[in-house]
Structure 1
């Protein structure tokens, strides 16, 4: 009798979750999509407003790489092979 009761409870819980997921899950996903869309629109608006300067002006945001100097490596020593 305990086995039938356990199976009945599992089936009831399964169908209740299935029923709820059909109605609640789409609302949850819709709310998440709206939040992401809102953040994206805010970022686009901020980026559009932050562009100070003339149209067509190129702005470089980072410094160019400077070549490394070899001054710290040491002195060059010329050598010859010695035959035994």
Structure 2
């Protein structure tokens, strides 16, 4: 009698878990997706300061904008050697 009762309890727990999983799985997946979206937004979208966001709104689509000019410290290295122009011989 004890073995039959144990098997029935296990089956009841198994089928109950399956039913509850079908009910709560979509809610759990939505919650996990929302949290992942928030973390993604924090990592890749949250690093711009408000000034950059305002500048992006002012520019039209297709307009070329230079935010930062490159440094003009192009010094040659004496250890490398000199550049020699050459022509290919056929």
1:34 counterpart residue number: 34
1:3 & 1:51 partners in 2: Cα distance? 71
Offset of residue 12 of structure 1: 0.2
Deviates more, 1:37-46 or 1:5-14: 37-46
2:69 & 2:4 partners in 1: Cα distance? 74
Offset of residue 42 of structure 1: 3.1
* 5+ residue gaps, structure 2: 53-64, 71-90
Q: If the length of structure 2 is used for normalisation, what is the TM-score?
A: 0.50
After TM superposition, list the pairs within 5 Å mapping 1:40-79 onto structure 2: 40-49=40-49, 55=66, 57=68
RMSD: 2.8
Offset of residue 8 of structure 1: 0.5
2:69 & 2:46 partners in 1: Cα distance? 19
Q: If the length of structure 1 is used for normalisation, what is the TM-score?
A: 0.53
Offset of residue 56 of structure 1: 5.5
Offset of residue 58 of structure 1: 7.2
Offset of residue 48 of structure 1: 3.7
* Alignment CA distance shift 1:58-1:10 (3 Å): farther
* 5+ residue gaps, structure 1: 60-84
* SS of residue in 2 equivalent to 1:4: helix
